[in-house]
Amino acid sequence: MKDFSGKIAVITGGGTGMGRALARQLVAEGCDVAMCDVSSSNLTESAAVCEAEAAQGVRLTTFVCDVANEEQMQAFASHVANTFDTQHINLLFNNAGIGGGGSFLKESREQWEKTFNVCWGGVYNGARAFMPMLVASSEGHIINTSSINGLWASTGPQSSHTAYSAAKFAVRGFTEALITDLRLNAPHVKASVVFPGHVGTSIMLNTEVAGGNSAAGARTLLRMMGHPVDTMSDEEVVALSESFGKTFRDNAPTTAAQAAQIILDGVKAEQWRILIGRDAHVLDEQVRLAPEEAYEPEFVARWIGARDTAD
């Protein structure tokens, strides 16, 4: 798939970040786009930006749904088929995700499973809902967003990161297994897995581990980063979480637009493995060099040192 003009793309998590950036670049290239998000207001903003930048004749539709809910994702697929009057799509970007989850031992089951069910279940539900439409196309491509935490299941020795990491490793394993599955059963459909490093998105602001932008969810997120949240009020926790989320978004070494371009270039080149950012590339190298040492305290310093000196 060397260009996207005249193709049909489906994007989950299209309300912000890489999802919105992917939609903007695709409609500018003449691709019809259907995007979903759990936030109707974010979707409205994305749609307005895309409509202003779309090539002539491009079709755009939005749908509010929770990717962790299989019935809602099936309804999204029906919406795409009916709105575009089509039985096929060409591109499926399973991009939606949230942070959080933290410790399997200390966090609540509700908080842990919320993160896992969005970050892994959203990919699974998206694939189940839209794979028949990909197979019905003359050429198709499924692109699943993992993370550097699909390369390394940690954020360092001082924090627990099991839900998000488990989900992102599941996304990686599923996509890698799909490569052979598709070659055997639908060779005109390709698969890619994306490993973003620190990209300027709102994932930290969008964390909904306990429903909404709650203090409980913010506590989980900040506890993962080593903050003494047990002595803080709900108001202090929410304020600190929002401050950290904005810093994460605004001070990233790679913008969402740059990440989207890397992904789309990777799709055109039929790369099954797409790493985004120097931090992702160097982390991948360091884990491969010494896998037995990847979870030792000294590993983080070695990774950061290699990242900061990389060409």
Q: What is the pLDDT of residues 35-57, one digit of tens each?
A: 999 999 999 999 999 999 999 99
> What average pLDDT does range 252-270 have in this prediction?
94
Percent of the chain with pLDDT over 90: 73
Residue 193 gets the label, from left (phi > 0), alpha (psi -120 to 50) or beta, of beta
Of how many residues is the chain composed? 311
Q: Which secondary-structure segment (H or E) carries 31?
A: none
Please tell me the CATH superfamily of domain 8-276, with its number: NAD(P)-binding Rossmann-like Domain (3.40.50.720)
Q: What is the pLDDT of residues 276-285, one digit of tens each?
A: 999 999 999 9
Tokens of 214: 């709650």
Task: Check pLDDT > 70 for residue 148.
Answer: yes
Q: Which secondary-structure segment (H or E) carries 189?
A: strand 189-196
The pLDDT-based confidence of 181 (bands split at 50, 70, 90) is very high
Strands 189-196 and 199-200: unpaired
- Compute how many other C-beta atoms are within 10 angstroms of the C-beta atom of residue 218: 28
Nearest CA-CA partner of 119 in 206, 199, 60, 183 = 206
Nearest CA-CA partner of 197 in 148, 238, 149, 159 = 148
Q: Which of 124, 164, 174, 195 is catalytic?
A: 164
Please tell me the distance from the alpha carbon of residue 241 to that of residue 219, in angstroms, as a whole number. Answer: 8
Sheet holding 140-145, edge to edge: 60-64, 32-37, 8-12, 91-94, 140-145, 189-196, 273-276
Structure confidence at residue 208 (pLDDT): 45
Residue 92 phi/psi, 5° resolution?
A: -125, 115
Specify whether 164 is catalytic. Answer: yes
Nearest CA-CA partner of 274 in 146, 125, 183, 182 = 146
The pLDDT-based confidence of 248 (bands split at 50, 70, 90) is low
Please tell me the distance from the alpha carbon of residue 252 to that of residue 254, in angstroms, as a whole number. Answer: 5
Domain ranges in the chain? 8-276, 280-311
Tokens of 227: 């903050």
